[in-house]
Amino acid sequence: MTATDAPIGVFDSGFGGLTVARALFDQLPGEDTVYLGDTARAPYGTKSIPEVREYALECLDYLAGSGVKALVIACNSASSAVLRDARERYDVPVVDVILPAARRAVRASRDGRIGLICTEATATSGSYDDALAAVPGIELVTEPCPSFVDFVEAGVTGGPELLDAARGYLLPLRETGIDTLILGCTHYPLLAGVISYVIGDEVTLVSSAEECAKEVFATLTDAGLLHEGPREPERRFLTTGSPELFAGIGRRLIGGVIDEVEQVYTAAGVPGGRRPSS
């Protein structure tokens, strides 16, 4: 296998990174991918940065060891915890979700007032603050929205309970006068309808998933690693948790692209042996 023929490795704590995978399928339709969701230890957003770093590196080590040509950290919490380490640790390109989204938000903002909704771990890390610190005239307003992940993973993308939660998070943010909002968790694009409804059409939404996929395309193009011409891609899905649960939720979130799901596990839920879904 040549470097060009190797798959793209996509890692997330659970299901949110499937929005990144979906964007990759759309923007790089001829590329093989292998997706690993650490659902046995999800969610990462409520865990400490050292815990997230430990778990994320274990999963990234697994993907890197399987022979991928690039690693995509499709999780804002994990990107916050391990990006610098990952770029030093692996000899393939590493793309995260934070820097591409931050750059896009700067371009989209009319007056420099940018909002960020994210998990507690991402907010605590200050990773978006760091990404925007060198840009003059930018003011970042951050609002953690922890329950949004629970809604997505329960398959709830509408209804009065979600709307009430969205209003609680977003109405104070709207009052600050932001003109651009970063969806700083890869689960959140699946709630774009309710988010836009509450925050208002005048606020531009920036999807970290979409921007990450664009960055992967550019990175592989610059490195000469893209496949040329049309081809039928191979798409593998791995989880440290239940493959049946992953398949069910995954199909509900991004449609029928998920067929078989393999479990990679040890007693602690760390990648090791494999058991496919039935």
Domain residue ranges of the chain, discontinuous segments joined by +: 8-96+211-276, 98-208
Residues taking part in catalysis: 75, 185
The pLDDT tens digits of the residues spanning 96-154 come to: 999 999 999 999 999 999 999 999 999 999 999 999 998 999 999 999 999 999 999 88
Q: What is the pTM of this model?
A: 0.90
Q: With bands split at pLDDT 50, 70 and 90, how would you rate the model's confidence at 2?
A: confident
Give domain 8-96+211-276's CATH architecture: 3-Layer(aba) Sandwich (3.40)
Q: With bands split at pLDDT 50, 70 and 90, how would you rate the model's confidence at 276?
A: very low
Q: Which whole number is the average pLDDT over 171-200? A: 96
Higher pLDDT, 143 or 273: 143
Q: How many CA atoms lie within 13 A of 175 on its CB side?
A: 7
Q: Cα–Cα distance between 229 and 253 in angstroms, integer? A: 29
pLDDT at 9 over 50: yes
Q: Cα–Cα distance between 121 and 129 in angstroms, integer? A: 13
Does residue 118 sit in helix, strand or coil?
A: strand
Give domain 98-208's CATH architecture: 3-Layer(aba) Sandwich (3.40)
Intrachain domains 8-96+211-276 and 98-208 with the same fold: yes
- The count of other CB atoms within 10 Å of the CB of residue 134 is 7
CA dihedral (219, 235, 89, 274) in degrees, to 10, reads 180
Please measure the distance between the N-terminal and C-terminal CA atoms of the chain and give it in whole angstroms: 29
pLDDT at 28 over 90: yes
The pLDDT tens digits of the residues spanning 210-243 come to: 999 999 999 999 999 998 878 899 999 999 999 9
Percent over 90 (pLDDT), the chain: 85
